[in-house]
Amino acid sequence: MPNEINLFGPIGKTADGTGITAQQVKTQLAAMNQTQPLLVHIDSEGGSVFDGLSLYEAFASYSGPKEAIIESTAFSMASYIAMAFDRVTIAENGYVMVHQPSTDTGGTASELVSTADVLTKLDQSMTAAYVRKSGLSEARVKQMMAAETFLNANEALAVGFVDAIAKRNVPTRIQPSARHKTMPQRVYAALFGAGSGGDTELHKDKPMSTQTIVAATVQEIKAAFPKAKSDFIVRCLEKGLPIASVASAAADEMMKENEEMSAKVTSLEAELAAMKASAAKADDTDTDDTDDDKSDVEAKKVAAKNGVKAVAKAKEVTKRTAVTEWNTAIDEQLKLHAGNRLKAVSAVNKRHPGLRERMVAEANAR
């Protein structure tokens, strides 16, 4: 049987004396055989950055195999803690939220500077954990944290924060009062609306949220996806997509472009095959022309002997330079891209603009 720990509720000691502290969890871990698998269930709105940092280190140091199961929510520090595990599974109705660490503090100027230094280091640690788990760039993770990004199960899987989706729904244990300041209406409705396990009777006559979905701006989309085309950005803006949904849309767009490119490559391969056949036929014609040249030489000798001036036979020579250039360029790129024709064709099109059009025109003219 695996060792099990539940992280249900806020991280750190709360005003009413509840909450999950790092010391409590460390005491549990110390009593366990750490060579055995560890299973940690998470349903938490987050909480203390200091307890969260300590919990992350405790779980990361666990020597046996470890898995976290997000049962509905892993917000703020809870999502950071989840990054310490070898495998993270999320319920179908689950959500992950990432944002920058913050604290309510007061004091002298030097005390505020010291607090800012601590938050900066915490932010660096959290960013590094999200990057290690997901494989995303540091810039992308920082952008998501700055925007306080909420991701559903599919979105969390797409960006790499989780490894699998469990085929079940789990009612959340957190309270509606634990909502974060920019929680989108769709998240609030999914967690506390009808059928979600929230307190629907208490809140059914009240608006579920005064917040709207936080749509990504042009600047945010460009920062996260520098190569995004203008028409893609416009579509995202028209739909009012948050940055997490933009990521999913970008993945779909890339798949579509790959399919279109694959179709173009297939067409190009057919064109190349036809041109090679044409070139082979042309070589046969050149051989015939060589025989004709020999006949011309004999005819000239006979004419000279008889005092007749020979008339030179006109010969039209057509050079297929575009075809030769294209084939040479493709061969070079195939070597550079380990035989990947799709990448080779794409590279040639970028390095030699207009060559493909000249090559096709030359082939069609024959």
Cα four-point dihedral sign 349, 355, 359, 360:
positive
Cα–Cα distance between 321 and 277 in angstroms, integer? 16
In degrees rounded to 5, what are phi and psi of residue 93? -95, 15
Q: Which one, of 354, 335, 356, lies nearest residue 344 by Cα?
A: 335
How far apart CA 300 and CA 313 sit, in angstroms, is 11
| CA–CA dist 143, 214 (Å, integer) | 14
Catalytic residue of the set 72, 76, 79, 134: 76
DSSP 243-294: HHHHHHHHHHHHHHHHHHHHHHHHHHHHHHHHHHHHHHHHHHHHHHHHHHHH
> Do the beta carbons of residue 112 and residue 95 sit within 8 Å?
no
What is the secondary structure of 8-24 as a DSSP string?
A: ES-BS--TTS-SB-HHH
* The pair of three-digit structure tokens given for residue 300, joined into one six-digit string: 């000239």
On the 0-12 / 13-18 / 19+ scale of CB atoms within 10 A, 144 is buried
Closest residue by Cα to residue 62 from 28, 27, 35, 24: 35
Structure tokens at 80: 């950071």
Beta bridge partner(s), residue 39: 4, 67
- Per the annotation, the verdict on 99 as an active-site residue is yes
Both tokens assigned to 257: 């472009």
Torsion, Cα 129 131 134 139, to 10 degrees, reads: 140
Q: Which of 44, 48, 99, 134 is catalytic?
A: 99
Question: Which helix (DSSP H) or strand (DSSP E) does residue 351 occupy?
Answer: helix 341-351
76 is catalytic: yes
Residues annotated as catalytic (active site), given as ranges: 76, 99
